[in-house]
Amino acid sequence: MSSVPIIRRLPLTWVGLLPFLIFITLFLILPTMHIVIGAFQDRDGAFTFQNLANLNTGTIPASYWISIKISAASAALGCLIGFAMAAAVTFGAVPRWIKAPLMTFSGVASNFAGVPLAFAFLATFGPVGLVTLFLRNNFGIVLQRDLGFNILSFWGLTVTYLFFQIPLMILIIAPALEGLRREWREAAEVLGATTAQYWRMVALPILFPSLLGTFALLFANAFGAVATAIALTGSALNIVPIQLFAQIRGDVLGDPNLGYAMAFGMILVTAVANILYIWLRIRAERWLK
C-alpha cells in the first residue's frame, strides 16, 4: 500500500491573525531591526561601536536626561490625577452616571496625540492662545511673566502629555480598583480600622504593583512620544526625539547612524519600562484573583 502524505492545514481561526502579523512585521519588527542594525554600522556599512560611544558626546546626554525628567513628571502626575478620578467614579464619590462618559472619553483621549494635540494646546495656551488672551485682556495676567508658564518649556510639554497620560491611567487602574473586594473593607472596619488605615494598610499595598506598573507604562508612553514634542516645541526644547530628527533628516550636519543609535537607546528605555509593567501587572492580577 502506498502511503498517502498527510497535509496539515492551519485552523481557519489563524487566518484572522494574518493581517495583524503582516502589519506588525512590516511596521514594527522590520523597522526595529533596521534601527538596531544601523546603530552598529558606520556610513560605509561597516560594523562599529562608535555610534553608541558618541551617545555620550555633545548635548545628547542632556537630551536623554530632560526626556527622562519630562516622562517621569508626566507619568507621576498622570498617575496621581488619574487614580483620584478613577477612585471617585469607582467608589461613588461622584454620580455614577459620570463613569460611562468618562471611560469613553478616556478611551478616545488616551490615543489623541501628535500634531492635532500640539495644535490644540498651542491654540489654548500659546502666545496668542484662547486662555492666554482671556487672562491678559480680562485680568491683566501674562502667563509667562506672572505665572512663569510657557507652553514651549519643560512644564508646557509635561502638561500637554497629561492630556493622554491621565486617561490612560484611568483606563488601566479602574479595573484594579473594581477588583478590590468589599469583604476586605468590611473586615477592616470590623477590626476598627479607619478609612485612612484601610487604604494605607490594605488597599494601597494590594494596588501597589498595579500603580508602579502603570507608572512604568506611562513613562514609556511619554518617552516614546515623538510627533507631539516636535510639533509643539520644534527646536525650543532639547529632547531626544528632536535631536534624533535632526540627525536622520539628511542635512549636511546629520549623521543617520548616530540617529539610529539614539533611537536604539530609546528602544532600550521603553523596553525596560514595558517589561517592568508586564511583570508588575502579572503580580497584581495574582492578588486580585
Domains and CATH numbers, the chain: 60-288 (1.10.3720.10)
CB 269 within 8 A of CB 220: yes
Over residues 73-92, the mean pLDDT reads: 92
pLDDT digits (tens, 9 = 90+) for 127-159: 888 998 999 898 888 887 778 888 888 899 999
| C-alpha cell of residue 279 | 511583570
Helix, strand, or coil here: 47? strand
Q: Decide which of 3 and 92 is more confident.
A: 92
CB 236 within 8 A of CB 152: yes
In whole angstroms, give the CA distance from residue 217 to residue 274: 6
Around Cβ 104, how many Cβ atoms within 10 Å? 10
| Phi, psi dihedral angles at 148 (to 5 degrees) | 70, 25
Decide if pLDDT at 93 tops 90: no
Decide if pLDDT at 163 tops 90: yes
Write down the pTM of the prediction.
Answer: 0.85
**CB neighbours of 54 closer than 8 A, spacing ≥ 6?**
60, 255, 258, 261
